[in-house]
Amino acid sequence: MDGEQLIMTIAKNKETNREEAKKAFALFCGYYEEEATKIAVALCRSWKRSEDYAYAIVQCAFEKVWLCPTFDKSKTHFKDTDKAIMRWLNTILIREMTLFSQKGNCSHPEPEDLPLITNSGMFIENYMEDEYLSEEQFEVVKKKLDDVFAGLSEQEITIYLTYKLYLKVNERVPHRVLKKLRTRYGITQDAIKHCRLRVEQKLKEVQI
């Protein structure tokens, strides 16, 4: 499917087949995130903002796409679908940049209490909240996870578990959570991404 078809799939299935919509959204983000980030970085340079600001703006823009998948190619002057979508995303990015600069957050609301997941106990409590675990079962699962994470730093564990939890229930990690990670460890969003990928590589044989 091309980008336009993916947006149509998101719009059509958000309420009736959420898993299908999430798959289409993930593909859409994968197709256009790199180009959207380039635009956001250019915007940040012209507005004298940091690179981390650009990652937040891209996050906001894609969240907006999920909430309002309203792309209409007929309203653009481009015959090429990808160019038309990038023009649409460019408009969203500029709007999100303006609102983010004014308000310090996205133009759409998010829950206030979005904690980082710093240990296996927190992860189990939140990830398996719909399942009843006795105290004994909880300790068994916790020990297994602690054994899996042996040798990883506190930073690696927190970044990995935070992504793991939020991606279970969201299409993307909320930008406020990403900001908390950047602030806590004093690193860039790109460094966080590479840390997560590095941990995933280490744990690729482990099923959580």
How far, in Å, CA of 81 to CA of 5, rounded?
10
Q: Block means of pLDDT (10 residues each) for the chain, length 208 residues?
A: 93 86 93 95 88 87 88 86 93 85 65 78 74 74 90 94 84 84 93 93 69
**Reduced 3-state DSSP string for 5-74:** HHHHHHHHHCCCCHHHHHHHHHHHHHHHHHHHHHHHHHHHHHCCCCHHHHHHHHHHHHHHHHHCCCCCHH
* Nearest in space to 60 (alpha carbons), one of 192, 186, 176: 176
Rounded-to-integer distance, Cα 103 and Cα 33, Å: 23
- For 92, 156, 159, 181, the CA distances from 196, given in Å and listed in that order, are 28, 7, 6, 12
Return the structure tokens found at 165. 């939890």
The per-residue pLDDT for 113 is 63
- Domains in the chain, ordered, with CATH? 3-103 (1.10.1740.10), 120-202 (no CATH)
pTM over 0.85: no
Count of positions (residues) in the chain:
208
**Do 152 and 203 meet the contact criterion of CB atoms below 8 Å apart?**
no
CB atoms within 10 A of CB 100: 20
Predicted pLDDT of residue 89: 94
Distance CA 54, CA 115 (A): 22
Structure tokens at 139: 């300790």
Q: Report the pLDDT value the prediction gives residue 109, as an integer from 0 to 100.
A: 53
Q: What is the pLDDT of residue 83?
A: 93
